[in-house]
Amino acid sequence: MAEHDKILQRLQARDGQRLGGVLSNHLLAKRSAVLRWLSDKASARPD
């Protein structure tokens, strides 16, 4: 039973890391999209 618990903990830790990676990738993509939108807006603005 203890071995089973260890395996479960390992799986949960791995899932947590994967979820963290997905979230950080999502946030990075969102931030770069916002920055690109801002730069497009700035370059489209007539001087």
**pLDDT per position as a tens digit, 3-32:** 989 999 998 899 888 888 998 999 999 999
Task: Report the pLDDT value the prediction gives residue 36, as an integer from 0 to 100.
Answer: 96
Task: Report the pLDDT value the prediction gives residue 6, as an integer from 0 to 100.
Answer: 94
Residue by residue, DSSP assigns 1-47 as -HHHHHHHHHHHHHHHHHHHHHHHHHHHHHHHHHHHHHHHHHHHS--
- Please report which confidence band the pLDDT of residue 46 belongs to, taking 50, 70 and 90 as the band edges: low
Task: Report the pLDDT value the prediction gives residue 25, as an integer from 0 to 100.
Answer: 93
Task: Report the pLDDT value the prediction gives residue 3, as an integer from 0 to 100.
Answer: 92
Task: Report the pLDDT value the prediction gives residue 27, as an integer from 0 to 100.
Answer: 94
